[in-house]
């Protein structure tokens, strides 16, 4: 059945200790509470069907992991140094007070009825000063973006600008887009091509937009700002730059939205505190906690639990990691939190909903949220 032991959890602001039983090999991300025991269903990151093949190539895999680990450790040190310098040098950003901020979710794992869910992100932000599309999921490589945009009655040619959080497939248009470092929306008319800005945290190109490399905190379109790029070392994906959006809503405070949150909430919020002294009203987006399962698995391999966690593959993302983030968000004290299911399993979403003091919702494709 697994191994039972005691763990501490934060449940609605209260620390509680109770036994937890871990089970392997059941294809589910749910947990069951019975007789004061939480049964956490954990699936294998790599299907047992792959194990014989891995055993055959284990000498090569071991050498590969040793080389990767050396690079990972070097990049981790570099990311820490770069982030420290960027945060230290950041100055206050003159964020305009927005009359309103409206978010329509175009792509997300969870969805409203009639919409297509996908393990990617695309958020359309609209304000009294304009509009900004934040990420584009897998773009034209999967049907979610085009289908959901059409169902919502939207035209992406009407968007003022595009901002890409980071250059990963589920945010910039698919694997080929990442490999070629080329951003392209699935629907753009010839009249709008090359005329609208695309704000990027790292070098990439686009035939549809006028690319602007973001180097520091700055204002983007629609009166929305960015933290500028913040770095994280990912074991398989390498040195990753990611930017987070920040807006100031009149009479409420700051709204902070991530793509995947790879730089971690701690680093992101250090930069936010340098940019503005306004209180945080809402925090949302991806946080990347595939604790018991991943999204978008392929051929029996849970890619999210292997390649995007910020840890080596022999170290798991755990409830302890999740609880540290919950504690940090509770210290920030936002009134509202909007969770992304594209990179966090249902178990992690449940822990956050139970542990966060803020009003907490899970983002759904097809839904609109007003701040």
Q: What is the pLDDT of residues 219-276, one digit of tens each?
A: 999 999 999 999 999 999 999 999 999 999 999 999 999 999 999 999 999 999 999 9
Quick count: other Cβ atoms within 10 Å of Cβ 14?
Answer: 8
- 119: nearest Cα among 316, 297, 268, 353: 297
Domain boundaries, the chain: 4-46, 60-370
Q: What is the pLDDT of residues 58-81, one digit of tens each?
A: 999 999 999 999 999 999 999 999
Answer whether CATH 3.10.100.10 is correct for domain 60-370. no
Quick count: other Cβ atoms within 10 Å of Cβ 147?
Answer: 18
What's the chain's length in residues?
371
Spans of the chain below 70 pLDDT: 1-42, 186-194
What CA–CA distance (Å, rounded) separates 72 from 236? Answer: 8
User: What pLDDT, on a 0 to 100 scale, did the predictor assign at position 300?
Assistant: 83
SS3 219: strand
User: What pLDDT, on a 0 to 100 scale, did the predictor assign at position 187?
Assistant: 59
């Amino acid at each position: 059945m697994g191994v039972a032991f005691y763990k501490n959890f934060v449940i609605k602001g209260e620390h509680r200790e109770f036994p937890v039983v871990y089970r392997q090999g059941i294809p589910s991300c749910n947990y069951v509470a019975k007789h004061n025991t939480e049964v956490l269903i954990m699936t294998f990151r790599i299907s047992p069907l792959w194990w014989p093949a891995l055993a055959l190539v284990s000498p090569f895999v071991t050498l590969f992991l040793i080389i990767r680990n050396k690079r990972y450790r070097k990049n981790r040190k570099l990311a820490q140094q770069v982030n420290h310098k960027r945060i230290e040098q950041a100055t206050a950003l003159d964020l305009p007070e927005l009359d309103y901020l409206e978010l329509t979710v175009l792509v997300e794992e969870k969805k409203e009825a009639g919409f297509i869910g996908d393990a990617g992100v695309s958020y359309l932000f609209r304000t009294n000063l304009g509009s900004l599309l934040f990420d584009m999921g897998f773009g034209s490589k999967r049907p979610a973006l085009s289908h959901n945009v059409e169902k919502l009655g939207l035209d992406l040619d009407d968007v003022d600008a595009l901002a890409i959080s980071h250059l990963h497939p589920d945010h910039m248009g698919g694997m080929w887009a990442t490999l070629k470092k080329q951003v392209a929306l699935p629907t753009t008319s010839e009249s709008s091509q090359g005329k609208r800005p695309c704000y990027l945290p790292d070098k990439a190109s686009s035939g549809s937009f006028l690319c602007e490399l973001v180097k520091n905190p700055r204002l983007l379109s629609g009166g929305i700002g960015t933290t500028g790029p913040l770095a994280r070392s990912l074991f398989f994906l390498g040195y990753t730059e990611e930017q987070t959006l920040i807006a100031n809503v009149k009479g409420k405070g700051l709204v902070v939205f991530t793509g995947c949150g790879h730089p971690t909430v701690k680093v992101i919020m250090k930069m936010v505190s340098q940019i503005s002294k306004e209180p945080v009203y809402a925090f949302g987006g991806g946080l990347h906690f595939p604790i018991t399962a991943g999204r978008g698995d392929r051929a029996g391999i849970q890619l999210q639990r292997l390649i995007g966690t910020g840890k080596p593959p022999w170290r798991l993302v755990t409830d302890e990691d999740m609880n540290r983030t919950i504690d940090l968000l509770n210290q920030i004290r936002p009134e509202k939190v909007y969770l992304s299911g594209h990179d966090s399993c249902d178990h992690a979403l449940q822990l956050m909903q139970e542990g966060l003091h803020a009003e907490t919702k899970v983002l759904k494709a097809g839904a609109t949220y007003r701040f």
